Amino acid sequence: MEQLTNTQNTLLQAIERLKRAMGMSPTVQELAVELGVKAPSVFEGLKRLEDKGYIRRQARKARSIEILHAQTPDKTNLTAVPVLGMVAAGAPILALENKIGQVMVPNNVLRGKCFALKVQGDSMIDADIFEGDYVVVRQQPIAENSDIVVAMVGEEATVKRLSIEGEHIELRPENQKLKPIIIGQQDELKIIGKVLHVWSGVDTEALLEKAKGG
């Protein structure tokens, strides 16, 4: 059985996950949303999975993906996520050329397009997010009340808990000593994404190389 690439493996996993969650095979577009890519990319991926014999489908039929060989459980069960910068400081983030390393995170927490940021400061210590940790963020422009988000307030990137208080929005630190940031009508707030996971550890660039080697 031919080896799958990382992306292909992620796709196969997503198919399994959605299939379980929805009780039916997902559509190409549903997979695209889940993975944070566009439909044609998924379509290509499906062709590859089919070529390699992992799935079968009926041309042009909706929801016709059949899994032939469930994906071999990933030995490490970890996926590399790029570290794009620091957060809770004034530095700009999210420039892809700014990749400063990568961390390994469990596959099962990943959803959509993710990246990681290294945390500065102690504004979220009550949520067990400490200086030097990495937050794994799913890039998305909206978030729900009480999600922990990465947001830009003006030029400042920050990690806080989102709180929608009727008319206005607050970004609340999880640290007794600090006060919420109140977002007014004229303040510019941009949600960068939602924090899916916190990784308290070292940057695993080296670790990944080792994993690939063996």
Partner DNA sequence: TAAAAAGCCTAATTTATATTAGGTCATTAG
Partner DNA sequence: CTAATGACCTAATATAAATTAGGCTTTTTA
Catalogue the active-site residues: 123, 160
C-alpha–C-alpha distance, residues 74 and 76, integer Å = 5
Q: In the set 1, 20, 61, 75, which binds DNA (CB under 7 A)? A: 61
Q: In the set 12, 14, 34, 45, which binds DNA (CB under 7 A)? A: 45
Binding flag, residue 72, DNA (CB under 7 A): no
Binding flag, residue 27, its own copies (CB under 8 A): yes
Binding flag, residue 44, DNA (CB under 7 A): yes
Residue 57 touches which member of DNA, its own copies, none, C-beta under 5-8 Å by kind: DNA
Contact pattern from residue 42 through residue 81 relative to its own copies, giving x for each residue in contact according to CB under 8 A and a dash for the rest: --------------------xxx-x---------------
- Quote the tokens at residue 21: 């969650």
For the CA atoms of 180, 185, 136, 118, the dihedral, rounded to the nearest 10 degrees, stands at: -60
Binding flag, residue 48, DNA (CB under 7 A): yes
The DSSP string of 56-117 is E--TT-TT--EESSPPPPPSS-EEEEEEEEEESSSS----GGG--EEEEEEGGG--SSEEEE
